[in-house]
Amino acid sequence: MKVTENKSGFTPRGIIPAVITPLTAEEKFNEKAMRKLVNYLINGGVHGLFITGTTGEFYGLTPEEKREIIQVTMDEVKGRVPVYAGTNGITTRESVMLTQLAEECKVDAVSVLTPMFVTPNQDQLYKHFKDIAASTSLPVILYNNPPKTGVNLAPATVAKLAEIPNIVSIKDSSGDLTLTAEYIRLTQGREDFSVLMGRDTLIYGALLYGATGSIASCANVAPRLCADIYEKYIAGDLEGSLKAQFALAPLRIAFSIGTFPAVIKESLILLGIEAGPCMDPAGAMTHSEREQLSKVLIEMGLLK
């Protein structure tokens, strides 16, 4: 599979965990746990780290907390893999401020979610992302997640945004493979734009269509298994890639057991990796829910 370069010289590719934000019991950022998690993920074979995103509970973090999380991650990664930062805001000015904060911290790229709560039309979404891209020299990844935001980036809008030099990719978490395929189809003539899958059950399918990788929440828990989906595909082992995808599916399907992102954090805790609680009101899982999750992890061979 040919991986092309974009205008910035940066191509998002491979398996990029949407990293949780480890918290203390008081819901403060746990730096020590984050440093351990960074190394667990890199040692697991991932190809990048995506912090302060949806799985990282960006919505509950102050700008100062985000700066600390980014700085700690950059310090621990030490250039081993690219670092992507979520700079999501409801307003354009908030996303611009957070994008510039991330640039000051020298991340490799930013990912920007569509606004939530408000429902801008496609022309307004185009201007929103255009203005954010104009505020930074960093590569910008569009982020479409209509199940969470109620806002959907239309394929035609994405194709138009792909013409902006530093808008280099889109992460699609819609779960609609037809939509993902349309993003790829309408931008396939541009060697400077790529598409990333954001639904962990569809990584293999998206790669077949021409996606360059995935930003995957499940990669927190099963980094090697997720990396296998991508690496086996790139190596031409389609059977092995599909086998890894099917092996991963039960974990993603188990997300419904608890309030997101509790299943990811609880899974890490069950594996002996410090993650801490989710921010209230997304509370801890019940004993019964933990038993259900534990059974999934045992059946996947992740937990003994």
Which residues are known binding-site members for pyruvate? 55, 215
21 vs 11: CA distance, rounded Å? 25
Q: Where are the beta strands (DSSP E) in 133-186?
A: 140-144, 167-172
Identify the H or E element spanning 197.
strand 194-197
Are 273 and 40 in contact by the 8 Å Cβ rule? The answer is yes
Task: Give yes or no: 143 in active site.
Answer: yes
Q: How far is CA 2 from CA 15, 47, 94, 185, 282, in A?
A: 17, 17, 36, 16, 42
Binding annotation: 55, 215
Tell me how far apart the alpha carbons of residues 97 and 256 are, in angstroms, rounded to a whole number. 33
Q: What is the helix (H) or strand (E) element at residue 248, kind and residue range?
A: helix 238-253
**Active-site residue (options: 126, 143, 204, 209):** 143
Q: Which residues contact 168 (CB under 8 A, 6 or more apart)?
A: 6, 7, 8, 10, 11, 12, 109, 139, 140, 141, 192, 193, 194
For residue 67, give the amino acid letter: R
CA distance 104 to 98: 10
Token readout for 131 is 């203005």
In degrees rounded to 5, what are phi and psi of residue 122?
-65, -35
Catalytic residue selected from 171, 183, 209, 233:
171
CA dihedral of 260, 264, 269, 275, whole degrees rounded to 10: -80
Dihedral through CA 22, CA 27, CA 29, CA 32, nearest 10?
A: -60
Q: How far apart are CA 3 and CA 215, in angstroms?
A: 17
Catalytically active residues, by annotation: 143, 171
